Structure 1
Amino acid sequence: MKKAVLPLLLLCLTQGVKAQDAGKTAQDYNKWTVELGGGINKVSNPLTPGYHVDAFNFYSVNAGARYMFNTKFGIKATGSLDRLQGSDISEDFETQFFSVGLQGVVNLGRVLEFETWTKRLNVLGHAGVGVGFLSGDMIKETDHTGNFLIGFTGQLKVSKRVTLWGDFNMTNTYTQHRTWNGAPYDGSQQGFDGTLYAATVGLNIALGKHEEHADWFVYNDEDKINDLESRLGELETMMNDSDKDGVPDYLDAEPNTINGVAVDSKGRTIDRNENGVADELESYIEERDRKNKESMGADLQDMINGGYVNVYFDFNQDMPNASSIGGINFLIKYLKENPGKSADVIGYADEIGDTEYNKALSARRADNVKKILTDAGIDAGRLNIVSNGEDNSVNKDSQWARQTVRRVTFIIK
């Protein structure tokens, strides 16, 4: 059960990090946007008697950056500058109101499933808090306000990264000590002191490596099925057991153990006396040797010639990997006990790469194994190098299958 649960947990934790070839996943979208816009504003109280503003003041600019946690909810930081002037029937004045804020964002288009009827129109809702700074020709010291912000943004998709938007925003102030025209103001002591309305248009630019932004991304049933099939395929690959020892390849520290030999929880051959030979195989050898040494010799030769004793190599390496030294030790033991025998040392490579290069690589692998055998006391004259080059008997696209053919094997003569 543990072997099955672990890969499932890993898949869940990495869900959305890795895009699958079968189709887009649940988080294949950009999350950041920057925005810039401008338009008109209008204020209501507080204004000093005799001071008025036009219905629309043509000076309101804003900029911001937005991050979407998912396709429905996000957060944005904004900054805006509004200029206020007296109307034709007002005493002259000019003030500036600069504000910054942090707002939560709701993608109403995804919540209300706009994608069922349009791919280019969308609506965002936003609300939050901020601070403001009111200054002007009648204000000696800048007036600081607290702000509550709320608004709606209509969107028109121009391209995959550019969106044209129109926004209506209302700013309610509190702790305001100056009227919008700059005169002293005591405040209402409760509720909001003043209100500023702004209507602006501008552009959004999406940032990121994906094709779509979260505002427009739709993860439909077909995408979900493709994603699930791809993840199930990945899980099946992770659970492969190339050497059939009961330990999946992704957990197997020794993925080329002899079939039927007992292994530990990490797939390593059990070798308590650390002599390089599996305990089960060693016990089998010793038991048969006690009964009939001559017969045993023939059986061992058949086992070696049948491909049960191999030396394995990592990709593009010509020295054996540490987990397969036991195969060399087994052959050393056999040849020392049978001095009349000789052996072909046969090298192989997988199909990845140039054929001629792999031919030379298989020769180097066989030659290095021969050197290990001679260094262990086996006469070099008893060993014959054979370079068989590429072994194309396995699936070239399977890294685990390719690992089984990067080897040196032996034929006893």
Structure 2
Amino acid sequence: MKKIILGALIFCSTIAVQAQEKEYNKWSLDLGAGAHEIINPLSPGYKTGALALGQANLGVRYMFNEKFGLRLDVGYNEFKEGDNSLPFRANYYRTTLEGVVNAGSLLNFSSFTNRLNLLFHGGIGLSNLKTITPIDTGSGEPLMNFTVGFTPQFKLTNRVSLFLDASAVFHDYQNFAFDGAANTRDREISASIFNTSIGVNISLGKHKQNADFLQAEEVVLNNEIETIKERLNKAETEIAALIVKKGEINKEALIYELDTRYLLKGETNSKYANVITGSNVDFIRELLNSGYINVYFNTNKTTIQEGSLNSVNYLKQFMIDNPSVNALLTGFADETGNADKNLQLSENRAKSVFDILVAAGIDANRLSYAGGGEDATVSGKARPLARKVTFTIK
């Protein structure tokens, strides 16, 4: 029985996950600061030293999907002499439009970690270099820049992650060196600055997940299957304990009976088709009332999923075999959308199950239905389990 219920729930969950649109935040902010080093051009006698402090950057990023995006990055560097260097001061401003590749998504990092990720980025923009001492270059020199880099990430929460970034900035030919002297090098595009940053990424939006750490569908489904297994294991334990309290009853015999009575009954080729045995009414009532047998629906739909029809048959057969019991059907919706519309949707779902049972021969006076509105106990990728109708046997 447990395997049958698990199979039905996995089927429903698979269909729902495949049909559901991915919901995640696409906008984010990158705030970083750290060290830099001038690669060239510098006049003889001038140097910054390896990875001197004095640079910061702010990035606004939009991901078209979980793999590719764009970032507008603004950066500032304040250069000064390092050890054993002639004194100099220079300010540098940069704006760059970059493409972003989520390597973690492409390489399916989520299959082995939900904390680590890796981004690559590169793009083109404009810069301005202004030397203050020893030669004042006035308003500075405008430059075209080309930036490439990579960014390891570590997720702290669903909205906040830490990052390290290493980037190289290339310039088209510079008329002036960073110390303000005339550049005597041949005209070429060359590496000019190396930046390293530590910073924080903040996801913007109403969703719990963001594009950087979005889990692959198969990983989400596997997690949901494990959750379902845990629920069923807990259900089996609770029902077994209930049976022990009410007397020494053979649990395996009851499960066997439930299988033959409520799944195989009515099948013409089944040897159990016409077998009627005594059932433990309290056991089956508890199973129906505890939420382990529900009817599931697709997003914004009132049509029962095909994989949930067995659940309706369970209740129909139980009410036929126990004409003194009544049932309340309670519909639910997930948390997405308007609350008032979800309340009506939940009632319509309960009504659809009510109509099926009445059409199947159950007296309408033995049935009642109601809308429970939104089921706030599940969210995110587990929302398919919120779109349901539950049974309460009276």
The two structures have a TM-score, normalised by structure 1, of: 0.50
The question of whether the paired residues in 1 share the 8 Å contact of 2:158 and 2:208 is answered with: yes
- What is aligned with 2:84? 89
2:73 counterpart residue number: 78
CA gap 1:230/1:32 in 2 versus in 1, 3 angstroms: farther
- Say whether residues 1:167 and 2:165 are aligned partners: yes
Q: Distance in 2 between matches of 1:113 and 1:222?
A: 10
Q: Distance in 2 between matches of 1:72 and 1:174?
A: 30
Count the aligned residue pairs: 226
**2:162 alignment partner, SS class:** strand
AA aligned opposite 1:215 = D
Q: How does 1:18-97 map to 2 (within 5 A)?
A: 25-97=20-92
How far, CA to CA, are the matches of 1:222 and 1:166 in structure 2? Answer: 26
2:213 corresponds to: 216
1:176 matched to which residue of 2? 174
Please give the secondary structure, in 2, of the residue aligned with 1:89: coil
Superposition deviation, residue 21 in structure 1 = 12
State percent identity of aligned pairs. Answer: 31
Q: Is the 8 A contact 2:66 2:214 kept in 1?
A: yes
TM-score (ref. length: structure 2)? 0.52
Contact 1:35 1:63 survives alignment (8 Å): yes
Distance in 2 between residues matched to 1:30 and 1:101, nearest whole Å: 23
CA distance in 1, matches of 2:219, 2:50: 51
> How far did 1:86 drift?
1.4
Which whole-Å CA distance do the structure 2 matches of 1:397 and 1:208 have between them?
A: 33
| Unpaired runs of at least 5, structure 2 | 1-13, 225-295, 306-346, 348-363, 372-394
Report if aligned partners of 1:156, 1:165 keep a CA contact under 8 Å in 2.
yes
Counterpart residue identity of residue 199, structure 1? T
Distance 1:232 1:133 in 2: 52
Q: 1:148 matched to which residue of 2?
A: 146
Q: 1:209-248 residue pairs with structure 2 within 5 A?
A: 209-221=206-218, 231=298, 234=301, 236=303
Map of 1:256 onto structure 2: none
Describe the shift of the 1:222–1:108 C-alpha distance in structure 2 as closer, same or farther (beyond 3 A). closer
How far is 1:140 from its partner?
A: 2.1
Aligned-partner SS, 1:110: helix
Preserved contact between residue 57 and residue 83 of structure 1 (Cα < 8 Å)? no
**What amino acid is the match of 1:141?**
S
**Which residue type is aligned with residue 77 of structure 2?**
D
SS at match of 1:141: coil
Structure 1 residues 136 and 28: CA distance shift in structure 2, 3 A: same
Answer yes or no: is the 8 Å Cα contact 2:168–2:193 preserved in 1: yes
Write the deviation string for residues 142-163 of structure 1: whole angstroms up to 9, x where unpaired.
Answer: 1111011000001010011110
Matched, 1:115 2:110: yes
Alpha-carbon distance in 1 for matches of 2:112, 2:127: 40
Counterpart-to-counterpart distance in 1, 2:177 and 2:169: 15
Give 1:220's aligned amino acid.
E
Indicate conservation of the 8 Å contact 2:297/2:303, yes or no.
no
Structure 2 distance, partners of 1:233, 1:219, is: 24
Post-superposition shift, 1:188? Answer: 2.3
The answer to whether the 8 Å contact 1:26/1:219 transfers is no
Residue 98 of structure 1, CA deviation: 0.8
Q: Does 1:205 align with 2:202?
A: yes
| Structure 2 letter corresponding to 1:189 | R
For residues 150-202 of structure 1, give each alpha carbon's deviation from its aligned partner in whole angstroms, at most 9, with x where no partner exists.
0000101001111011100100011321101121225522333x410010001
Cα shift readout 1:64-83 (whole Å, capped 9, x = no counterpart): 11111111111101011111
Residues 396/102 of structure 1: CA separation in 2 closer, same or farther (3 Å cut): same
Higher relative contact order (CA 8 A, sep 6+): 2
Letter of the structure 2 residue corresponding to residue 63 of structure 1: L
1:332 aligns with none
2:219 and 2:53 mapped to 1: Cα distance?
Answer: 48
Partner of 1:188: 186
Task: Identify unmatched segments of 5+ residues in structure 1.
Answer: 1-19, 239-351, 353-390, 399-413
Amino acid aligned to 1:204: N
Specify the SS of the correspondent of 2:199.
strand
Structure 2 CA distance for partners of 1:29 and 1:140, relative to 1, 3 Å: same
State how far apart, in whole Å, the 2-side matches of 1:35 and 1:209 are. 18
Inter-partner Cα distance in structure 2 for 1:43 and 1:222: 44
Please give the alpha-carbon distance, in whole angstroms, between the structure 1 residues aligned to 2:30 and 2:189. Answer: 31
Gap change, CA 1:179 and 1:222, over 3 Å in 2: closer
SS state at 1:119 partner: coil
Which structure has the greater CA radius of gyration?
1
Q: Distance in 1 between matches of 2:366 and 2:125?
A: 69
Q: 2:80, 2:150 → 1: CA distance? A: 26
**In structure 2, distance between residues paired with 1:210 and 1:232:** 17
Query: Deviation string for 1:264-289 (max 9, x for gaps)?
Result: xxxxxxxxxxxxxxxxxxxxxxxxxx
Partner SS for 2:187: coil
Instruction: Find 2:95's aligned residue among 95, 100, 105.
Output: 100
Shift of 1:87: 2.1
1:107 positional shift: 0.6
